[in-house]
Amino acid sequence: MTTAASTTSPARPLTGPQKALLKLGLRRDIDLALHLPLRYEDETRITRLSEARDGEVVQIEVMVTASEVTLRPRRQLLVTVDDGSDTCTLRFFSFYPSQQQALAPGKRIRARGELRGGFLGWQMLHPSFQAAGGELPQALTPVYPTSAGLPQAYLRRAVQNGLARAELADTIPTEDLKKIGPQPLWGLKSSLSFLHHPAPDVALATLEDRSHPAWQRLKAEELLAQQLSQLQARRARAGLLAPVLAPQPGPGAGLADRLQAALPFALTGAQRRVQAEIAGDLGRPVPMHRLLQGDVGAGKTVVAALAAALCIDAGRQCALMAPTEILAEQHFAKLVGWLEPLGVKTAWLTGSQKPKERRAMLALIASGEAALVVGTHAVIQDKVLFHQLALAIIDEQHRFGVAQRLALRAKLSAEAQEPHLLMMTATPIPRTLAMSYYADLDVSTLDELPPGRTAIVTKVVNESRRDEVVERIRGQLVAGRQIYWVCPLIEESEALDLSNATQTHAHLSAALPGVLVGLLHSRLTAPEKKAVMAQFTSGQMGVLVSTTVIEVGVDVPNASLMVIEHAERFGLSQLHQLRGRVGRGAAASACVLLYSTGDAPRLGETARERLKAMAETGDGFEIARRDLEIRGPGEFLGARQSGAALLRFADLATDSALLAWARQLAPELLDQHPTQAERHVARWLGAKSEYLKA
């Protein structure tokens, strides 16, 4: 298939616009055909100035009667034009000599922009313009997403050429398209042609809300491609080999049973159910690819420990990878405490280790003496050689890129086997996402909190009441409790007027004499962070001022109050994660969301919705549902999208019927029309479907 840059001989270097096309991912003709406009400009008609309305975006055909550069109040080009019915001033604050020449008196031009009336008459600020003459276009002019060095005119030609060359034969049987609904869908080719150049009489609302039949066809195609690629990935894994992790025969209970018996608490019903699901997967010779989701504090770590025990009992190694050193250390401490008394040796691996300690750990891992390896990204570095890795556990999986997850899976190369993969997230996945972006995974849900978790009261407080919050802190300290105070920045930013962690630490230290107030942020070295956390965990430190490095994993049961400063700057999922650091003990716990409106009279709509959701519910699944509504799936999913933005056109909030249709059709198309299914996936995803392996 012809590529976007194929107009240049392979021997010649690419031009700037050609490089920009490739940067946007526009490599194939079909990529160009599917690069749809952001909006449209109506250049199909000329509006007389005498008939125009204030604030209207219009195209006028005029004669330039005067043109001058003025220096006050700032340098600008003022061009006076006349269309015979009225005059207008075109105002440019940035311009080139070539533009001055094109706008010289006597030139006849067409200008398009927003028309503003006033005491001095009609004005247009920075309108687009061209020489008058020639026929008017018959369709709306597309305005495409672009990047630096890629002019709209060049991009329009490239898209038009790609659309003309692309192979657009239908890959979906007609009878299956009819199942979508009573409204007939357009063909793919006609849909794309229309969306690139819609007729001027089309209802713009149907283009903007994507309800037009042409948009519906594209969304149906895209959702089907996603479902097909996910199903292909699932079936491909079913054909791979993985170690069977069943307990070794012999006297005495298995390691998982002994671990469960030694735990100082009983498993919840949800934990027992999920443990059985994971054990069933590990006992089969095909790779497990399971996502373990659960609310903050639902007990995912102990489920991971039981899965690791099954792996170790089968004579294999298990690796657990966490996104931050603090979280990895929390896991390490818990797992060592649970497994070491049962005879399991655990290795610790991070980027901040001293060379001597690191060499010792690498030797333990390579020999197989360390049955469990816990660490950060350091676990997937080339020098880390496992003896017999069989299970990889990734905590907070959305914080890792696709390539990183693939690298961990590649650590098991012996015997041509794949490792089992268990991914964990404390951000529950809404149902529509589970059906689409996670359709290739088996999903286990911990929907039951362990007994003893106290409800957290959440209050939304204006920062003007900061002194009241400090007074509340004093009361908690007198009662022997500990407090988190989270700030969004380490230092002042010229762009954002936010209090920073350093200033807050100084303020609280002065306001709470005799209380040890700690400071934790990402610029501290690993030993410094470890020392601060040790003081807080041991109870020596009353207040911990921190940036979001304590977002996940930190477990201090005596901490009963969480203050989040400038809460309006945080995402909803992040706020919920931070709130989950308290309420882990028997004491009543609270979360205070301090917000600031800055110079604005009130909070923005999105920030208000986030804070309202936090105050109204502590249910992580409801929080996730609202978060998806506010942010959309791209932001919600985070790093899972690295290299594979699987949905560009469909909206899971409004296209659930199309998703259900695609989900039902995918296995039928793959079984009955495999060639068409392959063509469909290749058209929409190209090489991106490879990323589903992660």
pLDDT tens-digit profile of 182-225? 777 789 999 999 999 999 889 888 888 888 999 999 999 999 99
Look at residue 491 in the predicted model and tell me its pLDDT. Answer: 57
Beta-bridge partner residues of 113? 58
- What band does 399 get if pLDDT is binned at 50, 70 and 90? low
Look at residue 108 in the predicted model and tell me its pLDDT. Answer: 96
Sketch out the chain's domains with CATH numbers. 16-40+141-178+185-209 (no CATH), 45-131 (2.40.50.140), 255-446 (3.40.50.300), 456-617 (3.40.50.300)
pLDDT tens-digit profile of 520-539? 887 888 788 888 988 998 99
pLDDT tens-digit profile of 269-324? 999 999 999 999 999 999 999 999 888 778 889 999 999 999 999 999 999 988 87
- Stretch 400-408: mean pLDDT: 61
In sequence order, what are the residues at sequence separation of 6 or more whose Cβ sits closer than 8 angstroms to the Cβ of residue 379? 319, 321, 349, 373, 408
Closest CA to 177 of 211, 210, 223, 209: 223
Beta-bridge partner residues of 423? 291, 394
What is the rounded CA–CA span in Å between residue 187 and residue 197? 15
- Stretch 585-613: mean pLDDT: 86
**Amino acid at residue number 320:** L
Phi, psi of 692 (to 5 degrees): -70, -15
* Out of 1-5, 467-471, 523-527, 562-566, least confident range: 1-5
Label residues 365-404 b or e (16+ Cβ within 10 Å = b).
beeeebbbbbbbbbbbeeebebebbbbbbbbbbbbbbbeb
Asked whether residue 582 carries a pLDDT value surpassing 90, the answer given is no
- What band does 334 get if pLDDT is binned at 50, 70 and 90? confident
Asked whether residue 8 carries a pLDDT value surpassing 60, the answer given is no
Q: Name the 3-class secondary structure at 40.
A: strand
Residue with tokens 């099954």: 310
Beta-bridge partner residues of 112? 59, 128
What is the rounded CA–CA span in Å between residue 378 and residue 323? 10
pLDDT tens-digit profile of 651-681? 887 888 999 999 999 999 999 999 999 999 9
- What band does 508 get if pLDDT is binned at 50, 70 and 90? very high
- What band does 365 get if pLDDT is binned at 50, 70 and 90? very high
Q: Token pair for residue 284?
A: 């089969």
Look at residue 403 in the predicted model and tell me its pLDDT. Answer: 62
* Out of 121-130, 412-421, 438-447, 567-576, least confident range: 412-421
What is the rounded CA–CA span in Å between residue 538 and residue 535? 5
Going from the C-alpha of 19 to that of each of 142, 184, 201, 637, the distances in angstroms are 21, 40, 36, 29
User: Are 102 and 109 spatial neighbours (Cβ–Cβ below 8 Å)?
Assistant: yes
Q: Token pair for residue 138?
A: 């018959």
Q: Token pair for residue 491?
A: 């230092």
Share of the chain above pLDDT 70, in %: 88
Residue with tokens 């009353």: 542
**Amino acid at residue number 612:** K
Q: Token pair for residue 237?
A: 């894994």
41 φψ region: left (φ > 0), alpha (ψ -120 to 50), beta (else): beta
Asked whether residue 362 carries a pLDDT value surpassing 70, the answer given is yes
pLDDT tens-digit profile of 545-576? 988 766 555 678 899 999 999 999 888 888 88
Pairing of strands 122-125, 128-131: unpaired
Residue with tokens 């008459």: 121
Query: Cis peptide leading into 73, omega within 30 of 0?
Result: yes
For residue 536, count CB atoms less than 10 angstroms from its CB and return exposed for 0-12, middle for 13-18, buried for 19 or more. Answer: buried
Going from the C-alpha of 77 to that of each of 66, 70, 72, the distances in angstroms are 11, 6, 11
- Which strand ranges, in their side-by-side order, compose the sheet holding 317-321? 346-349, 372-375, 317-321, 389-395, 420-425, 289-294, 442-446
What is the rounded CA–CA span in Å between residue 339 and residue 344? 5
DSSP 3: B
- What band does 621 get if pLDDT is binned at 50, 70 and 90? confident
N-term to C-term CA, the chain: 28
Half-sphere exposure of 260 (CA within 13 A, CB side): 18
Q: Token pair for residue 459?
A: 């209050």
Look at residue 497 in the predicted model and tell me its pLDDT. Answer: 45
Q: Token pair for residue 3?
A: 């590529």
Phi, psi of 126 (to 5 degrees): 50, 55
Q: Which one of 23-27, 105-109, 141-145 scores highest in mean pLDDT?
A: 105-109
Give the ranges where 381-500 is alpha helix by DSSP (H): 402-409, 431-435, 466-478
Mapping DSSP onto H, E and C, the string for 230-290 reads: HHHHHHHHHCCCCCCCCCCCCCCCCHHHHHHHHCCCCCCHHHHHHHHHHHHHHCCCCCCEE
Asked whether residue 494 carries a pLDDT value surpassing 50, the answer given is no
* Out of 466-475, 538-547, 565-574, least confident range: 565-574
DSSP 395: E
Beta-bridge partner residues of 294? 446
Look at residue 645 in the predicted model and tell me its pLDDT. Answer: 47
pLDDT tens-digit profile of 73-110? 889 999 999 999 999 999 999 999 999 999 999 999 99
Asked whether residue 604 carries a pLDDT value surpassing 60, the answer given is yes
- Stretch 455-479: mean pLDDT: 92
Cα maximum dimension of the chain: 102
What is the rounded CA–CA span in Å between residue 494 and residue 46? 46
What is the rounded CA–CA span in Å between residue 477 and residue 1? 69
Asked whether residue 690 carries a pLDDT value surpassing 60, the answer given is no
Half-sphere exposure of 57 (CA within 13 A, CB side): 9
pLDDT tens-digit profile of 224-268? 999 998 899 889 888 889 999 987 665 557 899 999 999 988 999
Pairing of strands 389-395, 317-321: parallel
DSSP 34: T
Look at residue 369 in the predicted model and tell me its pLDDT. Answer: 94
Closest CA to 296 of 456, 415, 56, 107: 456
Ranges of beta strands (E only) in 193-279 are none
- Residue by residue, DSSP assigns 475-525 as HHHHTT-EEEEE-SBSS--SSS---BHHHHHHHHHHHSTTS-EEEE-TTS-
What is the rounded CA–CA span in Å between residue 658 and residue 506? 55
User: Are 351 and 376 spatial neighbours (Cβ–Cβ below 8 Å)?
Assistant: yes
Angle between helices 188-196 and 213-238 (to 10 degrees): 130
Sign of the CA dihedral 580, 582, 583, 589?
Answer: negative
What is the rounded CA–CA span in Å between residue 587 and residue 173? 61
